[in-house]
């Protein structure tokens, strides 16, 4: 006589519930789930029917304990970055065609939070990580990369061996902007940059400054005192930009490190009856949605965020699949010409 009474399954369906319902073994259900070798069409059909009718979904924790979770983490450390949604579109383009899924975290640019988010995702046994514009240094990144497949966006460290990097060619972006100004006949060209604590060249803003200086030098123009660095404090940013513009020291053509700053500049110029682009020409960065709006009409460097996102994701998936040699890719940015650069 059978002592072990099969209990009526209650609460959430597990693989055991499915096996019971389909009248097969747990191993069989698992095989179907994993598309493993050795399942007849009849068995597969039975199992899938049960899964459907029970509304079964595999428990990710249990999966993670044994191996893959089919989840990748995306960590946005700079929420302000306006092309984040473009990147995410690219990420989802690639992931939706795979059986992976993205979960995201926001570091809010606060370092301990950033690190603990990364650790949480590792502790959740996620299969890989995409970091966007991390604040932490390369050594720390390398430490985490040893624990989980990782791709980093917005961090120019081509010597990294344990993780991949995908970047917009920020030097080239600055070069394109300067050349566009030159083409329009401007010679008095400046850059509105950002104060960064990070002294290394891995920083995106640093790369743009390098490109800016290179382009000026190539055109035979002086490179001294051409860069004005804004502080990061958002509240006073508008004032700082205004001070810069009205200081009398402002150049005739200004390459801005972000659309936000550029828009401040445009607004401010308009307010003070300075004509754009006749009196002053402006190029922003990111080609964010506001830049395109009729009242703004800001020329801007487009980073192809969507392509960066999809490429980063493909790179991550290949690393998850076993690749170990590091890959470092630069994507060419493009200039979107608008009324702040060329009178239409």
The site partner of 217 among DNA, a second copy, none (C-beta below 5 to 8 Å per kind) is none
Cβ-based nearer residue to DNA, 222 or 322: 322
Using CB under 8 A as the binding rule, whether residue 342 contacts a second copy is answered as no
* Residues 253-292 contacting a second copy, CB under 8 A: 264, 267-268, 270-271, 289, 292
CA dist., res. 301 & res. 341, Å (int): 12
10 binds DNA (CB under 7 A): no
Quick check: 45 binds DNA (CB under 7 A)?
Answer: no
Beta 328-331 vs 334-336: how paired, if at all?
A: unpaired
Residue 31 interaction partner, one of a second copy, DNA, none, beta carbon < 5-8 Å per kind: DNA
**Spatial CB neighbours of 217, under 8 Å, sequence gap ≥ 6:** 223
Of 35-43, 173-181, 234-242, 308-316, which part binds a second copy (CB under 8 A)? 234-242
Binding of DNA at residue 92 (CB under 7 A)? no
Which CB sits closer to DNA, 100 or 285? 100
DSSP 115-159: HHHHHHHHHTT-SEEEEES--S-HHHHHHHHTTS-EEEES---TT
> Residue 44: which of 58, 57, 33 has the closest Cα?
33
> Closest distance between DNA and the C-beta of residue 163, in Å?
23
Shortest spacing between CB 287 and a second copy, in angstroms: 13
116 lines the binding site for DNA (CB under 7 A)? no
Q: To the nearest whole angstrom, how small is the minimum distance from the Cβ of residue 142 to DNA?
A: 22
> Which does residue 239 touch among a second copy, DNA, none (CB within 5 to 8 A, set by kind)?
a second copy
Q: Which does 292 bind (CB under 5 to 8 A by kind): a second copy, DNA, none?
A: a second copy
Number of residues that bind DNA (CB under 7 A): 30
The answer to the question of residue 26 lying near DNA (CB under 7 A) is yes
Beta strands in 215-342 (DSSP E): 227-230, 253-256, 281-285, 299-302, 328-331, 334-336
Pair of tokens at residue 11: 């609460």
In this structure, the number of other CB atoms found within 10 A of the CB of residue 185 comes to 9
Residue with tokens 């993670």: 64
Q: Please, which contacts does 3-11 make with residues 24 or more away whose CB atoms are closer than 8 Å?
A: none
Residue 232 binds DNA (CB under 7 A):
no
CA distance 90 to 2: 56
The answer, yes or no, to whether the previous bond of 277 is cis (omega within 30 of 0) is: yes
Count of beta carbons in the 10 Å neighbourhood of residue 307:
17
**Contact status: 97 vs a second copy (CB under 8 A):** no
- Given a second copy, DNA, none, residue 109, with its beta carbon under 5 to 8 Å by kind, binds none
Interface stretch with a second copy, choices 96-104, 132-140, 149-157, 309-317 (CB under 8 A)? 96-104
Of 235 and 321, the one with the shorter C-beta distance to a second copy is 235
Inter-residue contact 80 to 259 (CB < 8 Å): no
Residue 137 in contact with residue 163, Cβ under 8 Å?
Answer: no
User: Applying CB under 8 A, which residues contact a second copy?
Assistant: 12, 57-65, 69, 71, 79, 85, 88, 92, 101, 103-106, 108, 113, 116-117, 119-121, 123-125, 147, 234-235, 238-239, 242, 264, 267-268, 270-271, 289, 292-296
């Amino acid at each position: 006589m059978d002592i072990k009474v099969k209990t009526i399954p209650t609460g959430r369906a597990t693989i055991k519930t499915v096996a019971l319902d389909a009248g097969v073994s747990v191993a069989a259900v698992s095989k179907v789930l994993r598309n493993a070798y050795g399942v007849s069409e009849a068995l597969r059909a039975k199992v899938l029917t049960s899964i459907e009718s029970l509304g079964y979904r595999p428990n990710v924790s249990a999966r993670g304990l044994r191996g893959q979770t089919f989840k990748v983490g995306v960590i946005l450390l700079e929420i302000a970055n306006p092309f984040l949604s473009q990147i995410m579109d690219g990420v989802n383009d690639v992931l939706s065609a795979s059986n992976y899924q993205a979960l995201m975290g926001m570091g809010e640019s606060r370092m301990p939070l950033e690190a603990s988010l990364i650790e949480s995702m590792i502790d959740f046994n996620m299969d890989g990580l995409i970091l966007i514009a991390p604040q932490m240094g390369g050594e720390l990144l390398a430490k985490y990369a040893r624990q989980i497949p990782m791709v980093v966006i917005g961090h120019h460290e081509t010597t990294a061996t344990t993780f991949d990097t995908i970047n917009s060619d920020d030097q080239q972006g600055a070069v394109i902007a300067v050349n566009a100004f030159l083409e329009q006949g401007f010679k008095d060209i400046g850059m509105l940059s950002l104060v960064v604590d990070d002294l290394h060249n891995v920083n995106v803003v640093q790369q743009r400054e390098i490109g800016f200086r290179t382009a000026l030098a190539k055109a035979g123009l002086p490179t001294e005192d051409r860069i004005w660095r804004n502080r990061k404090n958002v509240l006073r940013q508008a004032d700082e930009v205004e001070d810069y513009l009205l200081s009398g020291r402002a150049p005739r053509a200004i390459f801005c490190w972000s659309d936000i700053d550029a828009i401040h500049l445009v607004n401010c110029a308009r307010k003070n009856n300075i004509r754009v682009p006749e009196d002053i020409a402006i190029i922003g960065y990111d080609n964010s949605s506001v830049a395109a709006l009729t009242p703004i009409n800001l020329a801007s460097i487009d980073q192809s965020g969507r392509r960066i996102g999809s490429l980063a994701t493909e790179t991550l998936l290949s690393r998850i699949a076993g690749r170990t040699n590091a890959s470092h890719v630069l994507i060419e940015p493009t200039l979107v010409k608008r009324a702040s650069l060329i009178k239409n």
